[in-house]
């Protein structure tokens, strides 16, 4: 489907607004995406993984077991970190 172009018929701006007043005000797709990825801790998982680990608790539990098996230390649960921050 093609995007509809600008025409005088679908111009719903007030008469006192001129199109040139909005020149240079272009929306940029993904403008903040890189910064959000840098500070976010959200990850996407594959559908088959989601079927095996349907919630946050299941995923965190499995990852902590794996970390213990590999000999990597865990810093505790988020709940204990929240208590320490108080």
At 21 the pLDDT is 79
At 63 the pLDDT is 93
Per-residue pLDDT in tens (0 to 9) along the chain, 86 residues: 566 665 555 667 677 877 777 777 877 888 898 898 889 888 888 999 999 998 999 999 999 999 999 987 666 555 544 444 44
Whether the Cβ atoms of residue 74 and residue 64 lie closer than 8 Å to each other: yes
Neighbours of 49 (CB within 10 A): 12
Q: Is the pTM of this model over 0.95?
A: no
At 17 the pLDDT is 79
What 3-state DSSP class applies to 80? helix
At 71 the pLDDT is 87
The tokens describing 67, both together, are 């970390």
- Rounded Cα gap, residues 60 and 68, in angstroms: 12
At 86 the pLDDT is 46
């Amino acid at each position: 489907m093609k995007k509809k172009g600008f025409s005088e018929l679908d111009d719903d701006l007030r008469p006192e607004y001129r199109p040139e007043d909005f020149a240079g005000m272009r929306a940029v797709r993904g403008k903040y995406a890189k910064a959000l990825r840098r500070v976010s801790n959200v990850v996407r998982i594959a559908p088959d993984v989601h079927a095996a680990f349907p919630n946050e608790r299941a995923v965190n539990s499995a990852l902590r077991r794996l970390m213990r098996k590999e000999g990597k230390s865990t810093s505790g649960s988020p709940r204990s970190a929240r208590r320490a921050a108080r």
